[in-house]
Chains A and B, each alone.
Chain A
Amino acid sequence: MKINKVAVFGVFTALALIFSYIELLIPFEFGIPGAKLGLANLVIILVLYKTDWKEALLLSVVRIILSGFIFGSLSGILYSLSGGLISLAVMALLKRTDKFSVIGVSMAGGVSHNMGQLFVAMLAVNTYAVSYYLPVLIIAGLITGTLIGIAAREILKRTTALMLR
């Protein structure tokens, strides 16, 4: 990493952490327990579009581990990591196909995030009883993913001059 890249990466890490914190202070729940808006994912998407998937991956992992140690617990880190890594993989692949706009990419990211977390929860408690919750979480992921995607589109539209590559 070049020095200016390191600085920019630090700024984005701080931004993602702050978003995690804001979400902790103001929980955006939609009457669904456990559903979150995933504000930090906004930063991940911006980095994914502005640089490449490798930096988005690094940022995602750093963000999850840091916010896990600061605000959460070890099991929380594992759940977040499973959701975050799967959603980033799906988003990076969809972006590469170039067939979807940022909203579609974010949608798929939100849905796959929730699905990944539920699968890990199923492994952890060793029961399929939680699978009843899957349709609800898919819809929740679709809604939050769309909202984050719209925000990301507006930000990308206004920051075309910002080149990080």
Chain B
Amino acid sequence: MRKNDWILAGCILLAAAALMVFCLQRSRQGGTVVVSVNGEIYGSYSLSDDRTVQINNSNRLIIENKTAKMEWADCPDQVCVRHREISRDGESIICLPNQVVVTVQSEESPELDGIAQ
């Protein structure tokens, strides 16, 4: 392998890393928070509107600065309260005792299917 090969590989890796950072930052934008209790959808809320969501008097979710955070839960373990705030597509907070699942979804649903083999 020549020196130029290593430089090329480095440049490609750098470009990929830059793109990855760019995409992660972009995926932060927008999106909705979907709350489901016991497998049924309780409600969906936009990440861009700051609000507090009371979930069945058992959990309280706060949406602020385009992130969502579980502020309070009546369960003993408090795992969901200690979970860091979520904002990116696919991230979720789960409160197992109350069967509350909070997921971030992108506004547009993915359109990819298995055309390319």
Chain A interface residues (CB < 8 Å from chain B): 34, 72-73, 75-76, 79, 99-101, 103-104, 107-108, 111, 117, 121, 124-125, 127, 129-132, 134-135, 138-139, 142, 146
Whether the Cβ atoms of A139 and B116 lie closer than 8 Å is no
In addition to A107-B5, A142-B12, 15 A-B residue pairs with Cβ atoms within 8 Å of each other are A76-B115, A79-B116, A101-B4, A101-B5, A108-B8, A117-B116, A125-B111, A127-B111, A130-B112, A134-B19, A135-B17, A135-B19, A138-B15, A139-B16, A142-B9
Q: How far is the CA of A73 from the CA of B23 in the complex (A)?
A: 31
Closest residue of chain A to B18 (Cβ to Cβ) is A135
In the bound complex, CA of A75 to CA of B108 (Å): 24
- Interface size class of chain B, counting residues whose CB lies under 8 Å from the partner chain: 20 to 34
Min CB distance A134 to B, Å, is 6
B117 at the interface (CB under 8 A from A): yes
Number of cross-chain contacts by CB at 8 Å: 71
Does any Cβ of A come within 8 Å of B20's Cβ? yes
Return chain B residues, CB-CB under 8 Å to A73: 117
Whether A138 pairs with B116 at a CB distance below 8 angstroms is no
Q: Which residues of B contact A125 (CB under 8 A)?
A: 111-112
